Chains A and B, each alone.
Chain A
Amino acid sequence: MQTGLLAVVLAYFFISIIGIGWLVSKKQKSDDSFLLASRSLNWQVLSITLALSILGTPHIFGLFEMSYFMGAVSMWFSFACTLVLIVLCIWTGPWVRKLNVSSVPEMLYILFGKKTRLLMVCVMIPAIWGITTCELQGMGITFSLLTGMSIEHASILGGFLGILYVSMAGLQEVAWLNVVNAAVKYLGLVVAAVFVTMKLPHGWAGVSQYYIDQDQPWMLSIWGTPELFWSFAMGTVVAILIVHSLGQQLCQPAMGAKDVGTLRKCLWPAVFINGLLAIFSVTFGMAAKSVPQFSALGPKMAAITMLLEYLPGFAIALLLCAIFGSMLSSFSATILASATLYTKDIHSYLANGPVSPAEEKKVARMAIIILVIIAAIVATAMPPIVLALNWLFSWYAPMVVMILIGLFWKRNETVAVITFLAGWAVNIIWSFTDVAGMLGLEAFKFSNVYPVLLISLVVGIVLTSIMDGKQAYFAKENQSCIAKSA
């Protein structure tokens, strides 16, 4: 039966991926549309793509895990994504679109110079690729549960689907596949919620009662405990705002927008399409913990096993299409972002002569395949998803600080380089030594983003104030509305 289900899911993906990929690639008139969709995405397609670009394994398996341990406070992971989409639609998206750049490091080049571009791309590619490994881990777990195959083989199968999802026609293919997957996703989740509600031994009231009986009423509140709120909830909000507001993964679809106005129209739809999913993940995770037979399986397996147990065949097939759709959409966003960074900021930028769009497309495809293969190998080690993400996200903090300083205050490349190195050094020290314990901050041991952001702000602001530099980028453009909108 499980093999039959897997066949249905795989058939859905092969048909949709190959069908849409073929249609889109037929319509593509030039090779330069592969990475940025010829900057032609309208608000309907863009809203869904923005929403799904940051909606994947962390929103499903990450939230299953988190809600198992922390309860409703884990909703802040989703709230953080809501906030970052708002920031992107109002500020950072219009900035990158207006500057007409192809990557975030290219923006650094415009603001500061060559060194910052190369330095940042060398950190961004591994950081985004790290997120890809978490996405693959989620796909591996699900395939493994369904088929009984090893997680190693399941991760490789997930990686193969991911390569197909993105490599036929690039961003435009991803955007249209996201439209189809968004519809399937919410249909699958609503159907699953109906069956879970019917099958829970004592209904949702019984789930609440379980946490009260366990003397854990804080698990039912989105505010959690004060310690969880300040370390996990606010730490996650800051980390996600930093990594995604100016990260390649979310900025790439924004760069492919038709114009700045298109991005601003995405505000409401992108937020709601992204934000509603976490309601299902968190409540499923908490419900699974309240039932002893699923709770005993642990945080990674409890919720998905409960769903496989409670749902009838057709609903499982629908839900699996929804889950894989979500995972593949954000997986493709991360892998396309890494491939774009390599192609634009390393291969093309360091080439001796001009690189043709056809060659860029070829290089991007090769980069996609190689990065996915390495990610599939690492995914089998199964690092804890949320902790891995928080660590990866912290690498972006110095970049965000310096981009804001460069856009609105002053630009000095030496200051930017020193700030980058200082922030990254703190991230490593915080992770691999017990400095948090020595400072009496054990509760923030895994909230790297706080110390990294603090040091980046101090170093960036102090050095910028005492050293000379070029005028702020937006200060030059007093006549344009960029300065006003900023």
Chain B
Amino acid sequence: MLFEDIFIASVGFMFAACLVGQIILVIQNSMCRDEECKKEY
């Protein structure tokens, strides 16, 4: 049904996008060489 379909598509999109964002943050964190930088994540 319409409401469920749009709900699932929307939440799925947001979850996938946030997951990609989180992975980028983890990669950025792993590239830090000092403590000050790590604190930002």
Contact = CB atoms under 8 A, between A and B. Distances in A.
Contact of A271 (B1, B2, B17, B32): B17
A260 B1 contact: no
24 contacts: A72-B5, A72-B6, A79-B13, A83-B17, A89-B21, A90-B25, A94-B40, A203-B1, A204-B2, A204-B4, A205-B1, A208-B2, A220-B2, A222-B9, A261-B39, A267-B21, A271-B17, A279-B6, A283-B2, A283-B6, A481-B32, A481-B40, A484-B37, A485-B28
Given A222-B6, A279-B10, A287-B2, 10 more contacts: A79-B17, A83-B17, A90-B25, A204-B2, A205-B1, A267-B22, A282-B6, A481-B33, A481-B36, A481-B37
A75 interface: yes
Contact of A481 (B4, B5, B14, B34): B34
B12 to A, nearest CB: 10
Contacts of A282: 6
A445 interface: no
B6 to A, nearest CB: 6
A193 interface: yes
A70 B4 CA distance: 18
Contacts of B37: 480-481, 484-485
A272 interface: yes
A268 interface: yes
Given A79-B13, A261-B39, A261-B41, A286 B2 contact: yes
Contacts of B22: 267-268
Contacts of A79: 10, 13, 17
A214 to B, nearest CB: 14
A275 interface: yes
Chain A residues touching B, range: 35 or more
Contacts of B11: 275-276
Contacts, number: 91
A267 B24 CA distance: 12
Nearest to B38: A481
Contacts of A436: none
A86 interface: yes
A484 to B, nearest CB: 5
Given A208-B1, A267-B22, A283-B2, A82 B17 contact: yes
A132 B7 CA distance: 29
A102 interface: no
A197 interface: yes
Nearest to A260: B40
A207 interface: yes
Contact of A261 (B3, B14, B40): B40
Interface string A270-281: 011001101100
Contacts of A90: 21, 24-25, 28
B3 A259 contact: no
Nearest to B31: A484
